[in-house]
Structure 1
Amino acid sequence: MKHSNDKPISVKPIQGNNTLKLIICALGIFVCYFYYGLLQEKITRSKYGSDDEKFVYPMSLVLCQCIVNAILAQILLRTIMKQGKDTTRISYYSSSALTYFSAMVFSNMALQHVNYPTQVVGKSCKPVPVMILGVLFGRKRYPVAKYLFVMTIVIGVILFMYKDKPSSSTVADKPLLGWGEILLLLSLTMDGLTGAIQERMKSEHKTQSCHMMFNLNLWSIIFSLSAVLVTGEWLRFLNFIHKYPYVTYNIGLFSILSAIGQVFIYLTVADFGPLPCSIITTVRKFFTVIASVIIYGNIIIGRQWIGAAFVFIGLGLDSFYGKSAAKKK
């Protein structure tokens, strides 16, 4: 006989299914973005042909990437991830797409001046502009621990990017910030603005993942297509891939991995929260730096390894303990 106060027994297999799903998402993010990073370096830093030409078409590369992202998002919206009606304002999508597009272009342009490990470590400073813009424009307050973790990241980046003065007085001193570092700063600023706008989208309209992925990339296609047409980059890009057709395969695979990786990130954040996603992406960045050093022979001195350690320790601590909800002033 069943008593009225009997409670249903929780079913354990659900936890097992969630664990399996998290493992699949983690592997998806790691594999996709690990090879994405290696392909990005191969495309942008390789020398092509007997004349040692370089790939200098960052807006065209972003255009290819956004087209594949938008196509995949639309397929998911029409099949297995139907998310209902989207009420997000067009102005939010267009403005966030502009900063999102700009961040990717600046990041790709930076690779023409710095190696991939420098780009990865520099872009790991993303929490800094997000926090600053949150304080200045979102009127948020963060716990003291958050500031300490972000300061650890900043110290690590300074150690990594600091340029030693040449031993010979006949050699001109290099500036602390070269074009590569300036472009990374611009990319980080755009990342911070994108994050601030997306926070408003989520708080005001509860924007769903696939709707955001599709519309963000759709508007980015409009901006990048306009940019390559106005600057004439599209013609130079087509001539380049006609001259070196094998680069088309790398660009196609690069774009596909970007799109699939985005889906795994959205799934991880939606089902498990930002903490596991932050941990996975931090580990991925660390191993990508190591792979870049081994595969492409990028040289990193001892001080830079210490700086990289500071960065990834700061990111790890921020992922575990710095995600407390920011309070409004």
Structure 2
Amino acid sequence: MPNNTKFLICAAGIFVCYFYFGILQEKITRGQYSYEAVDENGVSTKVEERYTYALALVFVQCFVNYFFAKGMLYVWPHGEDTTPKLYCASSALTYLLAMVCSNMALQWVSYPTQVVGKAGKPIPVMVLGVLIGRKSYPMKKYFFVLMIVIGVILFMYKEKASTKQSDTSFGLGELLILLSLTMDGLTGAVQERIKAEAKPTAQQMMLGMNSFACMFLAVALLLSGELIKFIEFVSRHPIVVTHISLLALAGALGQLFIFLTVTEFGPLPCSVITTTRKFFTVLGSVMLFGNVLSARQWLGAVTVFTGLFLDVFFSKGPPKKK
């Protein structure tokens, strides 16, 4: 198959899988689910509720990712994975916290806000690289990251209402996005050490991370009591099972196309595809769910993605050690 055809297939796979993933994620976390509740007098009342079980949602995603990676390693066997268990557990914990915070944020912010906020991932990666990894970056890298920071601030800043008290501080949803970004940066730092020392394949890393993530989540679900509440919610709204299953499958397939793109063409084309995908996810959310953006938010979104594109195209090569 020609390289151009392979590239188009990989790009289409990433676009379709993660576009559908974003639609399902917003449908699950921000949609209203209704059912008929009958009291002791036999009176029926329509009750509406929202899905709020972030731990259960992430558990299903990690569970499907684990078996998806297991299947890929069964079909395409690799050598023995020598990654220390402590590294796998550490990366799984930070990866898990990032996903949980990101999903929980959708209870307070719209999906476009979450996507643009998560687009600032280079910020914690750079900060942790300087503070922990003792790395240095060229000045243009700092400029591109500054563009991303300014864009995120423009997008997430809350306007002063004419009849209400001014609210210029971040809310709980924005705080969760910042925590998710911090966890993303820590995950990247641990993964860099794993790659340098153990050199596992992408499938092996995916398998190791998700196996520990499933164990952590199983304990958290039992201790928090969320598992029982999740089962009760699903029994009232069986359609949620279909939505979550499709969400997990779309996420696993999207990761497969990302691995294929990196393997065949390298990380730079993959970054271009995923960055472009994020912007069109915002557009799709605006059109499908009515998340209307102000002119200031559009300016912020464009600034964020412009900074990301410039970083992808002009920040070539790995950062240097100090």
Structure 1 residue 302 corresponds to structure 2 residue 295 = yes
Other-structure match for 1:76: 72
Output the CA distance in 2 between the equivalents of 1:183 and 1:246: 27
Q: After TM superposition, give the deviation of residue 207 of structure 1 in Å.
A: 1.5
Paired with 1:312 and 1:52, the residues of 2 have a C-alpha distance of 37
Contact 2:70 2:207 in 1 (8 A): yes
Deviations 1:19-77 (A, max 9, x none): 22222111111110010011000000001104220100000000000111010100110
Whether the 8 Å contact between 1:39 and 1:254 is mirrored in structure 2 is yes
For the pair 1:114 / 2:109, whether they are aligned, the reply is: yes
- For 1:139, the equivalent position in structure 2 comes to 134
Distance 2:232 2:167 in 1: 35
Residue 113 of structure 2 corresponds to residue 128 of structure 1:
no
Deviations 1:204-252 (A, max 9, x none): 1112111001111111100111111100000000000110001111100
| Distance (Å, rounded) in 2 between the aligned partners of 1:163 and 1:74 | 44
Structure 1 or 2: more strand by fraction: 2
Counterpart amino acid of 2:148? Answer: I
- Answer yes or no: is 1:182 the counterpart of 2:169: no
Give 1:269 shift.
1.7
> What secondary structure, in the 3-state scheme, does the structure 2 residue paired with 1:51 have?
strand
Q: Which residue of 2 is the match for residue 6 of structure 1?
A: none
Task: Provide structure 2 residue ranges, at least 5 long, that are not aligned to the other structure.
Answer: 35-45
Aligned to 1:8: none
Deviation at 1:175, TM superposition (A): 4.2
Q: Structure 1 counterpart of 2:127, which letter?
A: I
CA offsets per residue over residues 279-303 of structure 1, 9 Å max, x none?
A: 1011111111111111100110000
Q: Determine the C-alpha separation between the residues in 2 that align with 1:323 and 1:108.
A: 32
Rounded to whole Å, the distance in 2 between the matches of 1:313 and 1:153 is 8
Task: Verify: 1:93 aligned to 2:78, yes or no.
Answer: no
**What are the within-5 Å matches in structure 2 for residues 160-239 of structure 1?**
160-168=155-163, 171-239=164-232
SS of residue paired to 1:86:
coil
When Rg is computed on C-alpha atoms for both structures, the one with the higher figure is 1
Q: Distance in 2 between matches of 1:26 and 1:303?
A: 30
Determine the structure 1 residue equivalent to 2:42: none
Task: State how far apart, in whole Å, the 2-side matches of 1:146 and 1:83 are.
Answer: 36
Gaps of 5+ in 1: 1-15
Question: Matches of 1:142 and 1:175 in 2, distance apart?
Answer: 32
Normalising by structure 1, we get a TM-score of 0.93
For 2:10, give the aligned amino acid.
C
CA distance in 1, matches of 2:92, 2:281: 27
**Other structure's SS at 1:48 match:** strand
Q: Are positions 1:251 and 2:273 aligned together?
A: no
- For residues 89 and 24 of structure 2, the distance between their equivalents in structure 1, rounded to whole angstroms, comes to 28
Given residue 36 of structure 1, which amino acid in structure 2 is its aligned partner? Answer: F
Match of 1:158 in 2: 153
Work out whether 1:44 is the aligned partner of 2:40. no
What residue number does 1:9 align with? Answer: none
> Structure 2 CA distance, aligned partners of 1:82 and 1:29?
24
**Equivalence for 1:12:** none
- Matched pairs, number: 311
Give the TM-score taking structure 2 as reference length: 0.95
The CA distance in 1 between the partners of 2:290 and 2:156, in whole Å, is 18
- Which residue is 1:28 aligned to? 13
Separation in structure 1 between the aligned mates of residue 214 and residue 236 of structure 2, nearest angstrom: 25
> Secondary structure of the residue that 1:177 maps to in structure 2?
coil
